[in-house]
Amino acid sequence: MSVLDGIMIEMSVVLGSTEVPVRQILQMSRGAMIPLDCGQDDPSLVYVNGELVATGRILVDGEVMSLEISELIKKSRN
């Protein structure tokens, strides 16, 4: 067992974003579509513990979705 096995991280993959009023969300039904601020060929953003670490693209193979990392983001020195 690796010493890293017990370390928890929060990872988010952002496909796009939008601003939607709560009242509009409450009126949505199953299958409703929410337009995002990006196109299907735009990169997805990968955040680890709230920090942008990579970009990639979503791949779909039948029922399986995966993320292909295309670029690692260099950490800026402050």
- Inform me whether the pLDDT recorded for 1 exceeds 70: no
User: What are the C-alpha distances in Å from 15 to residues 34, 38, 57, 77?
Assistant: 12, 8, 9, 27
For the entire predicted model, the pTM comes to 0.74
What's phi and psi for 23, nearest 5 deg? -60, -35
CA–CA dist 15, 63 (Å, integer): 18
Q: What is the pLDDT of residues 4-42, one digit of tens each?
A: 888 999 999 999 999 999 999 999 999 999 999 998 889
Q: Give the per-residue pLDDT at 20.
A: 93
CA–CA dist 73, 78 (Å, integer): 15
Q: Kindly give the residue spans of alpha helices, DSSP state H, lying in 1-78.
A: 22-27
Domain carrying residue 24 = 11-72
User: Could you tell me the pLDDT band of residue 78, with boundaries at 50, 70 and 90?
Assistant: low
Is 16 contained in some domain? yes
Give the DSSP letter of residue 74: P
Q: Give the per-residue pLDDT at 2.
A: 82
Q: In total, how many domains does the chain have?
A: 1
Is 45 contained in some domain? yes
CATH code, 30: 2.30.330.10
